[in-house]
Structure formats: C-alpha cells, structure tokens
Amino acid sequence: MHDFRYVKGRLHCEGVSIDSLIKKHGTPLYVYSSSTLTDHFQKLDTALAPLDHLVCFAMKSNSNQAVLRTLADLGSGFDTVSGGEIQRAIAAGGDPKKCVFAGVGKTETEIAYALRKRIYCFHVESEPELERINRIAGQLKKKAPVAIRVNPNVDAKTHKKITTGTYDNKFGIAFEKIPGVYARAAKLKNIHLRGLQMHIGSQLTQVAPFDAAVRKVAPLAVKLKDQHGIEFLSIGGGLGIMYEDALASGDAKWWNRKAAKDILTPAKYAATLVPRLKPLGLKILIEPGRFISGNAGILVTRVEHVKNTGKKYFAIVDAAMNDLIRPAFYESYHEIIPVKKTKARAVKTDVVGPICETGDTFCKDRPIPRVAEGDHLALLSAGAYGFVMAGTYNTRPMPAEVLVEGRQAALVRKRQKVKDIWEGEATAPWQK
C-alpha cells in the first residue's frame, strides 16, 4: 500500500496536492511519502517480530537525508556499499553500530573509516578483501567484525542485471568454499567472525527463491555458529514491489481481491521464512531497499510537446533518462498517470524525454489519456533507484526532492543550478 491517490480528480501525496508542489518547486520533481516509508518499514519489522532481528535499509535504493532520517527514527539500521553511504547514514542520524558495509571493492580508506566509526559488520566478498581488512584493522589496533558473503548459487528468477546469487555473478564466495574460508579467517589476529551473509537478487515477487536459499544456507550457518561462534545470519534484501497496478495497490481494498492472493507480502514472506530461521538461534538481518522506498516516491514531469508523426504519438516531457534511468537501463515498467484526472480518450503513447538518445524513453505504445503541452504526468514507483541513479548528462541539472508528511511538505533537496554542474572543473593553465 501507499499514500498516493486522487482527491477530487487531483493527485495527492498524503494530504498535499501534487499541483501545489509543482507550483512551488517546478518539475522534474521527486515526491516522497513519509507515511508510506513508515508503513512499509513497520510491516517488515512486525512480520519478523518472532525473530531477534534487525532491518537494515539498503541505502543504495534511496539515500536522501530526509528519507534516511525517517527510517533512523523508526530504529532502522542501514546497509551501505561505500564509505560515503556510511557518512550519509551517520549525518542523517543513523547509528553506525547498526550499519553493515557491503560491496565487492572496498578501498583501504573506506575500511579504515568504517573501523573508526565502529560499524556493526563488514560483509566480506572475497579472501583478498578479508586479508585487506585484517591488515588495516591491525594498523589501527582494532578487531574488525566480519560476515563472509556466501554465494549459494541460487537463481532468483529476476532480471539478469539484478541477479546476485549465482556463480556467474561477481558477488560473494562459492558455497562449497565457505567452511575453508572461515577456518582461515579464524586464524587472522584482527578479525572477529560475527556472522554469515547472503543476497540472491532484487525485485523478487515469489517466496520460492528466498526459501531455496535459506534452506541451503541455514545448515551452514548452524555449523559456523558451532565452530566459530557467529551471532547472526543476514538473508539480504530483494523483496519486490508492485510496478504494474501501482496506483490501485495503494487502496487496502485492492489487496482483498482474489487476484492479489499470490502477491508476495511481508506477512507471506515471514510465514515461510520465520519457521526456518527461528530454530537457528541466530540474530537475523534483512536488507530491504526497494520494498520500503519504491512505492513511497513518484517522479513528476511536465509535457513540453506532443508530436504526432502519423505512425507514432509522442508525449515529450521535461524529465529524462538522467532523472530516472531504470526504463533505459533495465527496460523497467513504471505506471504513468496524469496529475489531473481526465476523461480524455486513451491514446497509444511513447512518453519520451528531451535527451538525444533513443533510449530516453519511459514507455512505448502505452495507452495514456491524451495529453497537451503544459499537462503534468506522474511516474509511479520511483522512490527506489530513482534520484540515486540520476546524473547530469546533457548538462541537465539534478531535480528537486520533496518529503510529505500529512499536510506538510518540505523541500529536502534543492534543484541543482546549471552552473553548479561544472563547479570544480577548470581550464588548463595553458588555455587562455
């Protein structure tokens, strides 16, 4: 569920009209719902209540300070993949003792920073990384808490670019090699073996791949607990969201339909996994991103031109692939709706941006109510992997971001100015 809906024919985020935000802040504009972030976090947290657990929000999905602060105030930990993300989490009020540090290429500087901040754990992806962490921890006269990431070779049945748990992927250490790696790690003077970690992929909409991975890894975790005293198992993130029917899914009644019975929810996720995890006697970490933030955000855009070639009908908008790259990168679907509800006839439309790339396309031949110059559209389910993956291609400034809570709205990131894009650049001394 989420808190975006039409009220008297106008799209609202909670108690605030999107029209009012457009008037004040312009477009392209990201809008986030605080109540949706809270609801999604609490649904997961409650579903896992029978377990000793920690929810670590995957910052890579959305790292806006206001979003992070909302979750930190709820007690969330943070799944980070860079030293910069650790700094962001702390700046937003996050507790470094609830931060885990993942990623296959941690630098020496990042490792040292994380050790000084006393993070909860490093998720180690390779033996060379383990040796590097041990060396740096020794230099700092510290013990580094680590969990080695096991690659269980389980196909998540998701998009090839977000599958992470097979031997074709760059992540983790092969399942069969894990006991030997832990045995060697136990001999390293500056390593504290705190846990075991896995992650098999993103945007999973069925529980079966999660179940297969847990069933495979659980006996290994028990063995490592007995042999090395590990205290937790991280089962990663990956819980998917509704992209199609995104608007309708904001209504509780929609979830009572017969057709919704097969949709994966936190309750169904927990019903399968909690009975398998509870007997382990380990703390369980979960690292969701998309599930919490995805349907908590939208991208609002203005129609600049309508172009009818006789064969194609184009709505050219002021947002572009640099603002939301998922459709170009992943061929992903985002529901696109008018900010002002209309009775206009639906027309098969390509919604495209102004960038000089054919891939700058948000949808093709999608039936959308006929639009005109100056109309506004909302791309739903844009709260995850939206702004965080944005760039300044074509020297286009980064969009603004707004957080809504009830009837309050706050600008939580100013729109970038064009001149700020080249701040830090300089001409060479010989260029006059």
Sign of CA dihedral 142, 143, 145, 147: positive
CA 26 – CA 346 distance, rounded (Å): 26
Q: Are the C-beta atoms of residues 237 and 289 closer than 8 Å to each other?
A: yes
Nearest Cα neighbor of 296 from 387, 162, 360, 396 is: 387
356 tagged catalytic: yes
- Cα(first)–Cα(last) distance of the chain, in Å? 58
Sorted by sequence, the CB contacts under 8 Å of residue 119 that are 6+ apart come out as 86, 96, 97, 99, 100, 101, 145
If 0-12 CB within 10 Å is exposed, 13-18 middle and 19+ buried, where does residue 183 land?
exposed
If 0-12 CB within 10 Å is exposed, 13-18 middle and 19+ buried, where does residue 29 land?
buried
User: HSE of 380 in the Cβ direction (CA atoms, 13 Å)?
Assistant: 25
CA 186 – CA 182 distance, rounded (Å): 6
The residue annotated as part of the active site, out of 56, 99, 121, 356, is 356
The alpha-carbon radius of gyration of the chain (Å, integer) is 23
CA 247 – CA 244 distance, rounded (Å): 8
Q: Annotated active-site positions, please? A: 356
